[in-house]
Structure formats: C-alpha cells, structure tokens
Amino acid sequence: MLLLSAVCLALWVSCCPAEDTNMTTALRLMSETPLIDGHNDLPWQFRKQFNNKLSEVDLYTLSTTHTNIPKIKEGRLGAQFWSAYVPCDTQFKDAVRQTLEQIDIVHRMCQKYPEVFQFATSAAEIEAAFEANKTASLIGVEGGHSIDSSLGTLRIMYWLGVRYMTLTHSCNTPWADNWLVDTGSHQAENGGLSEFGKAVVMEMNRLGMLIDLAHVPVEVMNQVLSMSRAPVIFSHSSAYEVCKHKRNVPDDVIRIVKEKRGVIMVNFYNDYVTCSEKATISDVADHFDHLKKIGGPEIIGFGGDYDGVTRMPDGLEDVSKVPNVVAELLRRGWSETDVKSALGNNLLRVLREAEKVRDDMKKTQPGDMPIPLEEVTNPCRTNTGYPENGAASTGSLSTLTLLLALALVALLTR
C-alpha cells in the first residue's frame, strides 16, 4: 500500500506543472516570512474617491482600487507601509494638515477592521502582527513638503507612527531637490540637500525614522548614503539599467546601497518596469534579478506602488497577484533563503538597524535650528520667532549656527 502511494505521488509530481509547484512553494514561504510591501497608496484613494469619509467605505467589497481585504488575503500581504501622500500643490499651503489627515485615515482603517489590520511601528510589532495572522500596518510619508521645513513637525509625525519619509516627491522642497532635476525638467535649487536638508537626515537618524530615497535625484542619493548612520530604503523604485527611467536606481548607487546595508523595494509600475505602457511578471522579475546580480539578495524588497499608479503588469493587476512574482523568482532558480530575504527579512533587518542607531543616539539632543527665513519666505508663512532686522541676516546667522551644530554633533557621535 505504501509503495502504491509513493508511486501515485511520484506520478502526480511528474504530471504537475512546474508553475504549480513554484506557486505552492511561494505560498508556503509567504506563510513563514511576512511579505512586507514598501508602498501602497490606498489612503490616497480614500481621499480622492471618498474625501476620507471612511464610513462610506466597505473594504470587503470595494472594487475601484487595487487593494481591498479579499485581495490582501489572497496576496498574503504580511505587512504594508501605507503612504501618507499629499500632492506638491499643497506645499506652502495646507500640506501639514492634509498629511495629518492621511495619517489619521490609516489609524482609522486599523480601528475599523481590527480583525485584518494591526498598527505597527517596529520590526517586533510587524512580527507580532504576522504571528496573529494580521496585516501589520505602518505609515510612510511620501514627500518632504509634508513637514513644511519643520523638524518639530517631523518629530510629531514620528510620534504619530510614521516610520519613513520620502525626502521629496515631484517638486523641490526648500531643502532638497527632487528626481525631476535629473530629467532636466526642474532646476536644482539646493545642491541636492541644503544644510537644513542635512539636518533633516540627521534628525531622522536620531528618531529612528527610515530615510526613503525614492523620488530623489542621484546627487541626493549619494549625499544621504554618505552621511546617514542608518541604512536607507527606496520604498518603490526599480533598476535603472533594466529601464532607464530617472525614478530608478543606477548601478553605482545600488553598489553603495549594498555597502550601506539598505534595501531597494521593486516598483511594479509599467513605466518604471519597461519604460513603456506594457509589462509582464517576467519584466518585473528582471529587476529583481538585476538587483540581485549587482547588490546581492540582501538589498531587495517589494514596493508595488498599488493604488498610486494606473498601469500594472499583466498578471499583477492588484495586490492579490503578488505571489505570482514570488513563484517567478523560484522558477528562475532563486533559493528559498533569498526569496525570504526579499519578502521581508531584509526590511526587518533595516528597521532593526535604524532602531539601534536611534538607541545609540538617545543622548543626542533633538535638532531645533529653524530653517533660514529667506529659504521659506512665502505669502502663507509668518516670521514669528525670527529677528525683525531682516530675513537675510537671520538666514546667514542661522546657516552658520546650523553648520557649527552639525559639526559638533558629528564630533560627539564618532
């Protein structure tokens, strides 16, 4: 009888398509290691479609988004960084208010569906949610314009649960240039990062907030990688050599990310996958393969960009389809260890290392130098707190003081 069973099993395996075997393995690996996705814009869809009236949303039946609860379950989404995104046209206006409302909508989503989502702010909390069979829900702010050039606002957002910030989106801030500078369509204004921008990076290190380099030009990538004490992430970017789009990461930067133990989380948007309107699962896997070749399996993650873009690859139409990528990587010969690294172990490591830097810097005082007034002067900003003898002299003094403070901190933290 045992012999007959063994023969039947062997015949079934030999007849079973390889893709089915790969998918079976993919689902098993995803049950053992949380899939941590770096970027999903569902909160922005709540604003666009419902003006954040979550009472009018049923995430079990919502059909106008890439993401709903049945799709999350089918896609084995273990943890998600939900994007708190507001457009660049809010800069110098109501960006902070709108960002706080996007942070609020993530908290309310977790409260409305506690059987599905568990709010998380750390590697340990991600693992706890995964053990509880819930989707760990974290927040990433997409665009430095959301803090209105204020370190105090940055800290408040951290206290509200934000665990990464993308330094820019598609506009320069008063302290950082954005990725469109590399296309020639925007002018550089800050030499990459201004001195205040460098103070933002330092404060993010001190807080334990991940620095996200998606949406920045190569100059900013290199500046941050050279100065950050914690590993950085690209929450939703792909490989430039596979698709030469300026939102993607060039090989020389990939090598530095490897050296600095960061993570590049592959974006599924067709325009960044193939530089065209069409793409396939295989095209997406090409980016995983390239990152693995240049930087190793330890720098790779998933950053689908669902609900933030309009064109997704065939076979990756919504979040339920992500296991198809995992099965494709297995088909291409990726080891189970390497797949688990990309699924979530790499991001968990980066979070832990950022948390360690935070703990090591606990004696460092919070940054409190305001940005020079002339760098943020606009009709919607008052000058309360700045000396009344002119913005120019205030700015030069502030910049000098900031430089001295940065140098002192650098000496003290060697």
pLDDT at residue 11, rounded to an integer: 41
Choice among 215, 245, 287, 290 that is catalytic: 215
Q: Is 287 a catalytic residue?
A: no
- Identify the pLDDT of residue 414: 53
| Residue 42 contacts residue 82 (beta carbons within 8 Å) | yes
Choose the catalytic residue: 37, 66, 142, 148. Answer: 142
Q: Is residue 122 part of a domain?
A: yes
Catalytic residue among 41, 182, 307, 375: 41
Residue 168 lies in a domain: yes
Asked whether residue 318 is domain-assigned, the answer is: yes
Structural domains in the chain (count):
1
Closest by Cα among 369, 39, 41 to 236: 39
94 annotated active-site: no
Low-confidence ranges of the chain (pLDDT < 50): 1-16, 390-401
Does the annotation mark 307 as catalytic?
Answer: no
Is residue 381 situated within a structural domain?
Answer: no
Residue 386 tokens, joined: 């700045």
Contact between 119 and 107 under an 8 Å Cβ cutoff? The reply is yes
- The one catalytic residue in 37, 195, 212, 236 is 236
Contact criterion met (CB below 8 Å) for 166 and 146:
no
The predicted structure's pLDDT at residue 394: 37
pLDDT given for residue 391 in this prediction: 40
This prediction's pTM: 0.90
> In this structure, is residue 84 part of a structural domain?
yes
Residue 389, pLDDT score: 53
Rounded CA separation 216/242 (Å):
19
In-domain check, residue 29: no
How far is Cα 327 from Cα 23, in angstroms, rounded to an integer? 5
In a domain? residue 243: yes
Unique residue bearing structure tokens 């089918």 = 74
**Is 59 within 8 Å of 77 (Cβ atoms)?**
no
Structure token digits, residue 310: 């309009």
Amino acid residing at 135: T
Torsion over CA: 381, 382, 385, 389 (sign): positive
Q: Which helix (H) or strand (E) holds 39?
A: strand 35-40
As a whole number of angstroms, the distance between CA 344 and CA 306 comes to: 18
- What burial letters (b/e) apply to 104-126, b meaning 16+ CB within 10 Å? ebbeebbeebeebbbbbbbbebb
Contacts of 390 (CB under 8 A, 6+ apart): none
CB burial readout 69-78, b (16+ within 10 A) else e: bebbeebbbb
Verify whether residue 374 is a known catalytic residue: no
DSSP states along 187-207: ---SSSB-HHHHHHHHHHHHH
**CATH number of domain containing 99:** 3.20.20.140
Q: Domain residues for 324?
A: 34-376+400-412
DSSP labels, 283-314: HHHHHHHHHHHHH-GGGEEE---BTT-S---B
The residue annotated as part of the active site, out of 145, 169, 287, 290, is 169
User: Is 186 an active-site residue?
Assistant: no
Determine the angle formed by the axes of helices 195-207 and 346-360, rounding to 10 degrees.
100
Identity at 167, one-letter amino acid code: L
CB burial of 364-384 (b: ≥16 within 10 Å; e: otherwise) equals eeebebbbbbbbbeeeeeeee
Structure-token pair, residue 349: 């490591």
CA-nearest of 308, 332, 335, 334 to 319 is 308
The catalytic residue among 286, 305, 318, 328 is 305
CB-facing half-sphere around the CA of 277: CA atoms within 13 A? 1
Q: What is the DSSP letter of 341?
A: I
CA dihedral angle for residue 242, residue 210, residue 228, residue 159, rounded to 10 degrees = 160
Annotation marks residue 39 as catalytic: yes
Cβ contacts of 96 within 8 Å, gap of 6 or more: 146, 147, 148, 150, 153
CA distance 219 to 238: 17
Read off the tokens for 104.
Answer: 């609020």
402 Cα distance to chain centroid:
28
Query: How does pLDDT run across 291-339, given as a tens digit for each residue?
Result: 999 999 999 999 999 999 999 999 999 999 999 999 999 999 999 999 9
| Distance of alpha carbon 407 from alpha carbon 389, whole angstroms | 27
Q: Is 54 inside any structural domain?
A: yes
